[in-house]
Amino acid sequence: MNILIIGAGNMGTTYARSLLASHFATPDEMALLIRSEASRDRLPEIPNANVHRRPAAFVGQADIVIVSVKPQDFPVLAPVIRPYLHPEQIIISIMAGVSLPTLRESLDVPKLVRAMPNLPSQIGMGMTVFSCSPDLDRKELFIIQNLLNTTGKALYVDNEKLIDSATAVSGSGPAYVYYFMNAMIKAGVELGFTPAQAELLVNQTFMGSVHLQNRNNLSCEDLMRRVASRGGTTEAAFRVFDEKDLEPGIMSGLHSAYRRSLELGK
């Protein structure tokens, strides 16, 4: 299966490496369309003959085209690749805020996928939410699911509007985790640990907590109750969290991220 990746930034490089590592595609089956030689250096596995700086007939030879450029660059890119595209190709966009109708209007091809990956995709632990146009058949949808799974886990949604919701939850989500981890590390230092010690405590706590939650059927509320004994230390922390409206604040933050995602898509 021939795959063209347009843009070799962080996410484009991530997909190229994941597809190669999983043997979804071989180096000879993969092509790159890039703007700078610096981008080419990130993927030395791809043969020089498959690395291009300008669109040409090779664009139409790909079975799947992954568009991994900044959303603001898409209006310039679309008209230069459009003449080489054909209706049987599957176009996967990982551009934030670019809707399926916009892709259809700009590229004039029917088989379109809009995906929202997140940062841990770089290490094969990502979460990607995707939707597609009705023109893809079941076999093609299965292929796309497998492709996206090479970077972690993928969730298909019928309603494209949920992509904006995913942007707020899983797309931006790693930053929320790092925000909370950073606050805990700072508190650990204030409580007497060295920065390295505090970081070790927090990193392992997050890692262990996620694995524990994944390995049983208990809800987050159930697990919280298992840690927080009545009148104990955890309950004291929760009391302050409640006084500071931490949970409503987090939820409000995600709603704000969702609204911003809608704004960026206009």
Identify whether the C-beta of residue 214 lies closer than 8 Å to the C-beta of residue 224: no
> pLDDT tens, 216-242?
999 999 999 999 999 999 999 999 999
Percent of the chain scoring above 70 in pLDDT:
100
The CATH 1.10.3730.10 portion of the chain extends over 173-264
Check whether 264 has a pLDDT greater than 80. Answer: no
Distances (CA, A) of 221 to 62, 109, 226: 48, 46, 9
Q: Bigger pLDDT: 199 or 261?
A: 199
Closest CA to 54 of 92, 84, 20: 84
Q: Per CATH, is 173-264 categorized as 3.40.50.620?
A: no
Q: How far is residue 137's CA from residue 111's CA, in Å, rounded to a whole number?
A: 9
Beta bridge partners of 6: 33, 67
What pLDDT is attached to residue 155? 97
**Phi/psi zone of residue 7: left (φ > 0), alpha (ψ -120 to 50 degrees), beta?**
left
Amino acid at site 83: P
Q: What is the pTM of this model?
A: 0.90
> pLDDT tens, 162-208?
999 999 999 999 999 999 999 999 999 999 999 999 999 999 999 99
What pLDDT is attached to residue 263? 84
What pLDDT is attached to residue 4? 97
Percent of the chain scoring above 90 in pLDDT:
89
Q: Hey, is 122 helix, strand or coil?
A: helix
The CATH 3.40.50.720 portion of the chain extends over 3-158
What pLDDT is attached to residue 97? 85
Identify whether the C-beta of residue 183 lies closer than 8 Å to the C-beta of residue 54: no
> pLDDT tens, 62-107?
999 999 999 899 999 999 999 999 999 999 999 988 999 999 999 9
Q: Per CATH, is 3-158 categorized as 3.40.50.720?
A: yes
